[in-house]
Structure 1
Amino acid sequence: MGILAEFREFAVRGNVIDLAVGVVIGAAFGKIVTALVENLIMPFIGLLTGGIDFSRWAITLRAAQVDAAGEEIPALVLGIGNVVNTIVQFVLVAFAIFIAVRFINRLKRQQAEAPAEETPAEPSEEVKLLREIRDGLRKPEAPIV
């Protein structure tokens, strides 16, 4: 089998396509959560904490400087606000996934608990033979003349 044929077989396998769909949906979901955190949740948290804008919250370790050649050396800054935003985003994504998995597991559990309407199974040959013997013994015998 050539490498192209093997790759084609791999690429069209159901699991690979499912994974690709999951990655695309996950990326879109990540963008939604990022927008939700940055535009709705963090401003509200900032309001509750006295107007702190977490996206600009940073600690400057070294201020910007100009070296002897006249070139600017940028400031050395720890972006704590970005870390807080990322943590909030992670918690929201993890919680949303937890709720989705919990819902799916509950549906699976309900389907497993529901009694399946089964058609009665065909009796085995032994059971059929024993029924014939039983029915034959029940018949009244004809009188002997």
Structure 2
Amino acid sequence: MLKGFKEFVLRGNVVDLAVGVVMGAAFGTVVTSIVKDLLTPFIAAIVGKPDFSAIALEIRGSKLMFGNFVNAAISFLLIAASVYFFVVMPMNAIIKRARKEPPVDPTTKKCPECLSEIPLDARRCAHCTSQLTVPAKA
């Protein structure tokens, strides 16, 4: 019974998932700090009010505290924008740079008479039948 549990825990997927969860939690703390300590005060400097939790609407004695919802929505948008601009965009650029494919050697050339595409080793154009000079191979 313990042998099966040991195999399950030491499987690559479980370990990778555990590392991902721990890294996600740590990264979440960093992103939350960026939003709370940098972006929210910046917005407060522009708008003049950093906290909307006191905003409420009273209907027949019931308080609708939609200010907390506004705070949560703004926090979500700021976190999403932070993740996109500080993580997703740089990672996409790094991946794109890493996957850059080398240029492919040409397999065709243009006929000097009719400008159609012909194989590099062709001695006569298939379209206009003009005689072509084939360069000597090295």
Q: TM-score with structure 2 length normalisation?
A: 0.57
Give 1:104 shift: 4.7
RMSD: 2.8
Runs of 5+ in structure 1 lacking a partner?
Answer: 66-73, 114-145
Match of 2:71 in 1: 81
Match of 2:99 in 1: 109
Which aligned pairs between 1:112-127 and structure 2 lie closer than 5 A? 113=102
Are 2:28 and 1:22 equivalent residues in the alignment?
no
Give 1:7 shift: 2.8
Are 2:42 and 1:52 equivalent residues in the alignment?
no
Match of 1:36 in 2: 34
Give 1:57 shift: 4.7
Q: TM-score with structure 1 length normalisation?
A: 0.55
Give 1:48 shift: 1.6
Question: Which has more radius of gyration?
Answer: 1
Check the 8 A contact 1:60/1:76 in 2, yes or no.
yes
Letter in 2 for 1:61: L
Give, in whole Å, the separation in 2 of the partners of 1:41 and 1:106. 29
Q: Measured at CA, do residues 13 and 101 of structure 1 come closer, stay the same or move farther in structure 2, by a change above 3 Å?
A: farther
Give, in whole Å, the separation in 1 of the partners of 2:65 and 2:89. 37
Give 1:42 shift: 1.1
Are 2:51 and 1:61 equivalent residues in the alignment?
no
Give 1:37 shift: 0.7
Match of 1:98 in 2: 88
Give, in whole Å, the separation in 1 of the partners of 2:52 and 2:93. 37
Give 1:103 shift: 4.6
Check the 8 A contact 1:62/1:76 in 2, yes or no.
yes
Give 1:44 shift: 0.8
Runs of 5+ in structure 2 lacking a partner?
Answer: 103-138
SS at match of 1:56: coil
Letter in 2 for 1:21: V
**Which gives a bigger RCO, structure 1 or 2 (Cα 8 Å, sep 6+)?**
1
